[in-house]
Structure 1
Amino acid sequence: MVVMGCSAGGLSALHRVLGGLSKPLPVPMVVVCHSGSEDMRVFCELLESRSGLPVREAEERLLPEPGHVYVAPSGYHLLLERDKRFALSVDPRVAFSRPSIDVLFESAADVWRDRVLAVLMTGANADGAEGCAKVRRAGGTVVVQDPETAQVPMMPAAALELAGADYCLPLPEISLLLESLCS
C-alpha cells in the first residue's frame, strides 16, 4: 500500500510523481491532499488526465485495488480498517485539517505494518509528521520530498525533524523509487 500526503503545492507535486510513473503500480495508492476544494471530482479528473492512472474519490467500505489511485474526499478523514477497506470519519480536525494526512498514515501503519510506503510532499503545516513516525515504528518505509525542492517546505521539513525518513528525494526521483520498491 502506498499512502501519499501533501498540502500547498500538492496538485503540482502529485502531477509530477504520478505522471512520472511508467506504468501503474501493482499496489493501491491513497492520497490526502489539503486542496481546500469542496468537490474533489475535478481534482481527481486532473490527476487522472495527467497521470493516465485511474483516479477516484475513496468511498466508505471500498476495497482499494492495485494500480488505482484513491483520493480522500473533502471534509472527511480517510482511514483503512483491519479488513483493508476504507472508512470515513468526521472526527475533529487533526493539525487543523480534515482530511488529515496523519490519520491516513497512522491507520495504514496499523493495518499494513511493514508493507506500507508513505510519501510526504510539499505543504504549509506539520500534518503528516506524526504519521511518518508511526509508519517508521511499524517497520514501513517513509519517503519525504527534499524540502529544498518543495514549493512549500514546511511539511517535509517537519516530518524530517520529527520522524526522519528512509529516503529524502526531489519529486522526479520519488516516481522512480516507487516503481523500484513496489516491483
Structure 2
Amino acid sequence: MRTAGASARIDAVVIGASAGGIEALSVLLPVLLPGFRAAVLVVVHLPRERPSLLADIFTQKCAVPVIEAVDKEPVMPGTIAFAPPDYHLLVDEGPQLSLSADALVNFSRPSVDVLFESAADVYGTHLMGIILTGGNSDGAAGLEAIRRVGGMAVVQQPETAQTSLMPASALQRVPDAQALPLDGIATLLRTLNPGDRP
C-alpha cells in the first residue's frame, strides 16, 4: 500500500458522515474559499422519506457553490455536491455523477462505501476520503478502497466525534489514515490548494 497521496494533486474530496454530521460539516465546509478547485462529494445519512435541506443549509454557510447531486451531471470542480435522500451517489467515468436506487448498503442509502469505492475507481491517487462522526461502520470499506489505490485517507479522531463508531471502524480498517480533530481536518482542507500543483 502506498503512502497517502501526499505528493499527488487532489482532484476530488469525498466525505461521509452520519449522526452529528451536519455539525461537523458546518466546521469543515465553510473553510473552502472561492478558487478551491477540487470537487467535494458528500454523503450524510438522513431519513430516506423526507426531502434533504442540506444544499439550502450549506449554501448559506459556504463561499463555494453547493448543490444536491443530479444524475448524469458532470462532476463540477470547486463545488460541493450532497447525495439526495434515498439514492446512492456514485462517480462514473467522465467524471460524472450517478444516482442509484440499488439495495441499502450498511443499512444506508445513500451509502458512504458506495460513493468512496466508485470515486476511488475514477480518481485513484488524486482522491481524498474523509470519514466523520457516525453510528455505524459505513465508509470503512470505502476508505480502505481509497487507500488501496493510493489516495489520501483522513478520519475524525473518534474521541472528538459526537458518535465515534464510524471513525473508529474506519481506523480499524485503515490504521494509517490521518486521524485529526475537526479543526485539523479544516486546516488540511484549507492548505490543500488542489489544482495548483503540477
Using the size of structure 2 for normalisation, the TM-score is 0.88
Q: 1:13 to 1:47 in 2, by over 3 A?
A: same
1:87 aligns with 2:95: no
Q: 1:89 to 1:24 in 2, by over 3 A?
A: same
Given that 2:31 and 2:190 are in contact with CA atoms closer than 8 Å, whether structure 1 keeps it comes out as no
Higher share in helix: 1
For 2:100 and 2:140, the matched residues in 1 are separated by 20
Given that 2:31 and 2:189 are in contact with CA atoms closer than 8 Å, whether structure 1 keeps it comes out as no
Question: Once superposed, which parts of structure 1, at least 4 consecutive aligned residues long, lie more than 6 Å away?
Answer: none
- Structure 2 portions without partners, runs of 5+: 1-11
Aligned residues between the structures? 182
1:59 aligns with 2:75: no
1:46 aligns with 2:49: no
Task: Write the mapping of 1:99-138 to structure 2, written as runs, cut at 5 A.
Answer: 99-138=110-149
Residue identity opposite 1:2 in structure 2: V
1:34 aligns with 2:45: yes
Partner of 1:77: 88
Given that 1:143 and 1:165 are in contact with CA atoms closer than 8 Å, whether structure 2 keeps it comes out as no
Given that 1:144 and 1:165 are in contact with CA atoms closer than 8 Å, whether structure 2 keeps it comes out as no
1:6 aligns with 2:17: yes
Partner of 1:153: 164
Q: 1:121 to 1:133 in 2, by over 3 A?
A: same
- Structure 1 portions without partners, runs of 5+: none
Cα deviation per residue 1:107-146 (whole Å; 9 max; x = unaligned)? 0000001111001100000000000000000100011000
Residue identity opposite 1:39 in structure 2: P
Where 1:70 maps in the other structure, the secondary structure is: strand
Given that 2:15 and 2:41 are in contact with CA atoms closer than 8 Å, whether structure 1 keeps it comes out as yes
> CA shift at 1:52, angstroms?
2.8
For 2:178 and 2:140, the matched residues in 1 are separated by 14
Where 1:143 maps in the other structure, the secondary structure is: strand
> CA shift at 1:22, angstroms?
4.5
For 1:181 and 1:20, the matched residues in 2 are separated by 11
2:188 pairs with one of 171, 177, 180: 177
Where 1:64 maps in the other structure, the secondary structure is: coil
> CA shift at 1:78, angstroms?
0.6
Residue identity opposite 1:114 in structure 2: T
Question: Which structure would you say has the larger RCO, counting Cα contacts within 8 Å and 6 or more residues apart?
Answer: 2
For 1:130 and 1:161, the matched residues in 2 are separated by 10
Could you tell me the percent identity over the aligned residues? 42
For 2:95 and 2:154, the matched residues in 1 are separated by 22
Using the size of structure 1 for normalisation, the TM-score is 0.95
1:96 aligns with 2:107: yes
> CA shift at 1:24, angstroms?
5.0
Given that 2:32 and 2:63 are in contact with CA atoms closer than 8 Å, whether structure 1 keeps it comes out as no
